[in-house]
């Protein structure tokens, strides 16, 4: 009997360097089919951004076309949630006489429970093949001498890079066309709010992602260390939306970087190494999710920080979301997020610190809002970033380190080029006053159509320090 291999696509929407797809196609005599299952109610529970759902749909269309060229049909289906998807997949496997199911692992708690349930339902009916594909090194492979997950990034990175140099991080080729002529099937549209991202900012498809990766590594990564914190400059890779849904693999990033900058691992002062460092942060946060599943349940890594008495000021939260706080760099960043679904990483730190440390609003509100807007929404990276800013996570900023949003703006957007792009109300304010626009307006006898600052940073800082100190004392 001819074997039937089913490839279950999830957050790995590409045909190149896809470990599950590559393995499924090794037997030239097997029939290979593919499936994608949308789960809109689960997405809603996970606060998936309508932009990200639309981006997934766009890239699924591209994947469908690429698979069709290889004579691999892509079936698509929609279930309410993971539980329903498991039952449907089991029935699909039986109906199509699937002998082997191939998929790439996901590391979030709900996803792992879903995959465990699939294993239970299909036990004895078909063989499961799971692969570590979305990371350079699998979770649990980089541990301390006592076998525990690292809690601090720098020693994790040292151990990670040592192990990486001795691992097989090669990219796998796309499969060759199959012998069978497969009919191309219509994809099921998502029953989910969709907001189309700007195609000029983030074009869909593997080719677009690989082209962006190549041009970044050839032309801009050398200056990454000097330019990455300046939001007015196109100094970052902007690859995170592709990595988040697996249109691009981290191995493709790593290998392209080494191809263009062969000395990356030896020169830790280079722009290339600093960008590699960001890829390692991505790994760190994902490894942590597996070692500490409570992070998937929005629990703080440092337990006593749950005792902080947060402000419940709904107006402050709404003003932060809308980019109407009266702090120009914060407002420009939030408007960039609201309009494009993406935000520069330095700005993510600034606005997160402002919400938690200036407005004393629970970091979970910010984490959730980011997920609802981000094109590159990713639980591990988003949770890791928010817990870093809130001083509640592993390797987080100590609670007494509080960003001053005004001086952050002066440092990273000195002349206000980024601010004016997103806060046109401040277009007439000169460079020297752009970070204190109301002081300038008073001197000029002008009235700005721009809100006064929500808080006095110096006062807010003292209140935050007091709230954290009380929480720590209360924990004993």
Catalytic residues: 278, 281, 310, 345, 363, 386
CB 190 within 8 Å of CB 78? yes
- Is there a binding annotation on residue 275? yes
- Is there a binding annotation on residue 107? no
- Is there a binding annotation on residue 351? no
- Is there a binding annotation on residue 353? no
Q: What would the two tokens of residue 196 be? A: 């189309």
The helix (H) or strand (E) run that includes residue 371 is helix 363-373
- Is there a binding annotation on residue 281? yes
- Is there a binding annotation on residue 237? yes
- Is there a binding annotation on residue 239? yes
- Is there a binding annotation on residue 167? no
Would you say how long the chain is, in residues? 476
Instruction: Give the integer Cα–Cα distance in Å for 166 and 147.
Output: 19
- Is there a binding annotation on residue 238? yes
Residue among 360, 409, 407, 362 at smallest CA distance from 387: 362
DSSP secondary structure, 411-471, as one string: HHSTT-HHHHHH-GGGTTS-GGGTTSHHHHHHHHT---SSPPPSS-HHHHHHHHHHHHHHH
Instruction: Give the integer Cα–Cα distance in Å for 84 and 80.
Output: 6
Question: Where does residue 130 fall: left (phi above 0), alpha (psi -120 to 50 degrees), or beta otherwise?
Answer: beta
The helix (H) or strand (E) run that includes residue 32 is strand 31-38
DSSP secondary structure, 131-169, as one string: E--SSSS-TTSSB-TTSPBPSSHHHHHHHHHHHHHTS--
Alpha carbons within 13 A on the beta-carbon side of 164: 21
- Is there a binding annotation on residue 304? no
- Is there a binding annotation on residue 35? no
- Is there a binding annotation on residue 440? no
- Is there a binding annotation on residue 224? yes
CB 291 within 8 Å of CB 143? no
CB 339 within 8 Å of CB 373? no
Instruction: Give the integer Cα–Cα distance in Å for 410 and 413.
Output: 6
- Is there a binding annotation on residue 88? no
Binding residues: 224, 236-240, 275, 278-285, 376-378
Cite the annotated binding site for FAD by residue number: 224, 236-240, 275, 278-285, 376-378
């Amino acid at each position: 009997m001819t074997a039937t291999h089913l490839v279950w696509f999830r957050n790995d929407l590409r045909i190149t360097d896809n470990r599950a797809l590559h393995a499924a196609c090794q037997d030239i005599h097997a029939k290979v089919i593919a499936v994608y299952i949308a789960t809109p109610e689960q997405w809603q529970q996970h606060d998936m951004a309508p932009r990200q759902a639309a981006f997934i749909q766009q890239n699924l269309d591209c994947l469908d076309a690429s698979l069709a060229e290889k004579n691999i049909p892509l079936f698509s289906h929609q279930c309410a949630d993971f539980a329903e998807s498991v039952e449907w997949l089991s029935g699909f496997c039986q109906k199509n006489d699937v002998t082997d199911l191939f998929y790439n692992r996901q590391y979030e708690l709900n996803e792992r429970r879903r995959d465990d349930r699939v294993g239970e339902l299909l036990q004895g009916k078909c063989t499961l093949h799971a692969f570590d594909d979305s990371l350079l090194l699998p979770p649990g492979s980089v541990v301390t001498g006592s076998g525990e997950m690292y809690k601090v990034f720098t020693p994790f990175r040292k151990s990670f890079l040592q192990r990486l140099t001795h691992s097989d991080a090669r990219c796998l080729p796309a499969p060759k066309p199959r012998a069978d002529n497969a009919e191309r099937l219509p994809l099921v549209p998502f029953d989910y709010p969709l907001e189309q991202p700007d195609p000029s900012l983030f074009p869909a498809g593997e080719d677009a992602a690989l082209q962006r990766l190549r041009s970044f590594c050839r032309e801009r990564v050398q200056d990454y260390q000097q330019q990455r914190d300046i939001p007015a400059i196109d100094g970052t890779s902007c690859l995170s939306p592709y990595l988040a849904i697996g249109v691009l693999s981290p191995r493709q990033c790593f290998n392209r970087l080494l191809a263009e900058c062969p000395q990356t691992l030896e020169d830790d002062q280079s722009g290339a190494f600093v960008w590699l460092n960001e890829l390692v942060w991505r790994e760190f946060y994902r490894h942590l999710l597996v070692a500490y599943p409570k992070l998937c349940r929005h629990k703080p890594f440092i337990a006593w920080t749950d005792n902080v008495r947060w402000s419940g000021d709904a107006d402050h939260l709404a003003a932060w979301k809308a980019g109407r706080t009266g702090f120009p760099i914060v407002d420009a960043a939030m408007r960039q997020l609201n309009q494009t679904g993406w935000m520069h990483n330095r700005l993510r730190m600034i606005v997160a610190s402002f919400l938690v440390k200036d407005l004393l609003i629970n970091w979970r509100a910010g984490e959730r809002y980011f997920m609802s807007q981000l094109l590159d929404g990713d639980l591990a990276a988003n949770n890791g970033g928010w817990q870093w800013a809130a001083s509640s996570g592993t390797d987080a900023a100590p609670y007494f380190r509080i960003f001053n949003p005004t001086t952050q703006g002066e440092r990273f957007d000195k002349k206000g080029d980024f601010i004016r792009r997103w806060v046109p109300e401040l277009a007439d304010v000169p460079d020297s006053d752009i970070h204190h626009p109301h002081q300038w307006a008073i001197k000029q006898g002008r009235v700005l159509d721009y809100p006064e600052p929500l808080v006095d940073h110096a006062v807010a800082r003292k209140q935050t320090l007091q709230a954290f100190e009380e929480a720590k004392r209360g924990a004993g």
